[in-house]
Amino acid sequence: MNGIGQALRRVTFMALALSSAVAVGANEPVVLERVGPASLRADATIEKGVIVLPFADVLVLTIEVRGDAGLEVRPPQTWAKGPWQVRTIGPPTYTKDEHTKEGRAQEAGDVRWSQTLEVEPLAPGETSLRLEPLRYLDAKGRWQTIDFQPRAVRVTSKLTQPDVKDVRDITAIEELPAPPRRDSAAAMIVATAVLALGLLAGCGFWLRRRRVQAAPVTAERRALRELERLHALGLPERGKAERFGTLLTGVLRRYLERKYQAPARRQTTGEFVGSLAEHPLLAAHRDFLESFLQRCDLLKFAPVTASSEECRALADQARQFINPPVINQPVIPQPVIAQSAAEETCP
């Protein structure tokens, strides 16, 4: 009995070891073929010389070519034809065998060229896989051709026969919407008319407003606005009578250019007063213009002082000249500051 038990244990142990070896070997690449210095390996299941490949899986092939240091390999443009889709996994690699020692001349078999492919089946069933030939340069400098034999492949599929009950019926034709009623059409016409009238009214209002805004601003209105902004600055109250006189004479000179086309800003006071004979409309205002501009020049260029009341009175004289209370009556301003006060008049 003891001998029989030991024999059974030995058989069981050997069976387990054999199954483990088979399982380990199934995960290692299988050499399918060797042609000269080239070899073809595959990560696949082989049954009686036939490659068994599930339809949803891919077949991984590795091609290796050994040679010397001058090894050169030219792969085909298309690796396989038929119901296959072949993809290269990265570029081909050249590696040096580990047994080559440093300082030793490389011999045949020292360099290895390798390329890995992914082969995907496009249809299930019994078929064959044939790789296209590739060429390599041997040690004598001649091009040689490597042609692998076609391999039988069984592409399996787990798809079952379709059930007719699961097929959906043809859907019905979608009906067109009903045409609109007459009252709806009338309402649409009325709404369109109201919208058109609103657009016309809006365009008319915009055109009228544009014409009003486009109306030219008169020289008098511009000058009066500038005087209002100058008064709002409050320069005399802050002791800046010189700056006030400079801005005030600028307002009047710009008004004369806009209203009478007289070059008042490009001439000195003496030149401008001398040219008034060429402007008949300004000849009647010669005394006012000469007195006003001279006082402003004194305020700008002479070391004189003026109170805020005197400067405000000078601005009022300019406002009366621009917008006189009586039409066609020249305004002759009265001196605000005595001329005997050593030129201390307010410009």
- Which string of DSSP letters, residue by residue, matches 281-293? HHHTTHHHHHHHH
The verdict on residue 257 lying in a domain is yes
The verdict on residue 203 lying in a domain is no
The verdict on residue 20 lying in a domain is no
The verdict on residue 110 lying in a domain is yes
The verdict on residue 214 lying in a domain is no
Q: Does the structure show a pLDDT above 80 at 214?
A: no
The verdict on residue 21 lying in a domain is no
The verdict on residue 89 lying in a domain is yes
Query: Which phi and psi angles does 266 have, rounded to 5°?
Result: -100, 5
Together in a domain, 42 and 133: yes
Report the distance separating Cα 116 and Cα 76, nearest Å. 14
- Cα torsion 198, 203, 204, 210 to 10°: value is 150
Residues across the chain: 347
What's the number of domains the chain is made of?
Answer: 2
Together in a domain, 38 and 121: yes
**Amino acid (one-letter) located at 316:** D
Say if CB 113 and CB 94 are below 8 A apart: yes
- Which string of DSSP letters, residue by residue, matches 36-89? TTEEEEEESEEETTEEEEETTS-EEEEEEEEE-TT-EEE--SS-B-SSEEEEES
Q: What is the pLDDT of residues 135-183, one digit of tens each?
A: 998 888 889 999 999 989 999 987 555 566 666 667 777 777 777 666 6
Q: Does the structure show a pLDDT above 50 at 7?
A: yes
pLDDT bracket for residue 27 (50, 70, 90): low
Together in a domain, 133 and 238: no
Q: Which residues is 112 bridged to in the sheet? A: 66, 95
Q: What is the pLDDT of residues 293-336, one digit of tens each?
A: 888 888 778 766 778 888 888 889 889 888 887 554 455 454 44
DSSP designation for 80: B
Among 115-129, 229-243, 263-277, 298-312, where is mean pLDDT lowest?
298-312
Together in a domain, 243 and 140: no
Together in a domain, 252 and 148: no
Contacts of 337 (CB under 8 A, 6+ apart): 295, 306, 310, 344, 345, 346
Q: Does the structure show a pLDDT above 50 at 55?
A: yes
Which pLDDT belongs to residue 160?
A: 53
Residue bearing the bigger pLDDT, 102 or 185: 185
Together in a domain, 141 and 231: no
Here the CATH number for the domain that contains residue 133 is: 2.60.40
Q: Which domain holds residue 142?
A: 27-156
Q: What is the pLDDT of residues 57-103, one digit of tens each?
A: 888 999 999 988 888 899 998 898 888 989 999 899 988 865 544 33
Say if CB 62 and CB 115 are below 8 A apart: yes
- Judging by beta carbons within 10 Å of its beta carbon (0-12, 13-18, 19+), is residue 35 exposed, middle or buried? middle
3-state SS assignment for residue 228:
helix
Report the distance separating Cα 46 and Cα 59, nearest Å. 12
Say if CB 153 and CB 123 are below 8 A apart: no
Which of 109, 124, 156 corresponds to the end of one domain?
156
Query: Which phi and psi angles does 19 have, rounded to 5°?
Result: -65, -35
Token couple for 221:
């209105």
Residue bearing the bigger pLDDT, 175 or 285: 285
The verdict on residue 258 lying in a domain is yes
Together in a domain, 238 and 138: no
pLDDT bracket for residue 278 (50, 70, 90): confident
pTM of the model: 0.39
Q: Could you tell me which of 122, 150, 147, 112 has the C-alpha nearest to residue 57?
A: 122
Which pLDDT belongs to residue 337?
A: 41
Report the distance separating Cα 275 and Cα 56, nearest Å. 105
Together in a domain, 117 and 230: no
Together in a domain, 150 and 230: no
Together in a domain, 133 and 229: no
Together in a domain, 150 and 227: no
What is the percentage of the chain residues whose pLDDT exceeds 70?
75
Q: Does the structure show a pLDDT above 70 at 267?
A: yes
Which of 122, 156, 190 corresponds to the end of one domain?
156
Look at the alpha carbons of 62, 67, 69, 70 in this order and tell me if their dihedral is positive or negative.
negative
Q: Could you tell me which of 29, 59, 64, 65 has the C-alpha nearest to residue 128?
A: 59
Which pLDDT belongs to residue 168?
A: 66
DSSP H or E run through 32 = strand 30-35
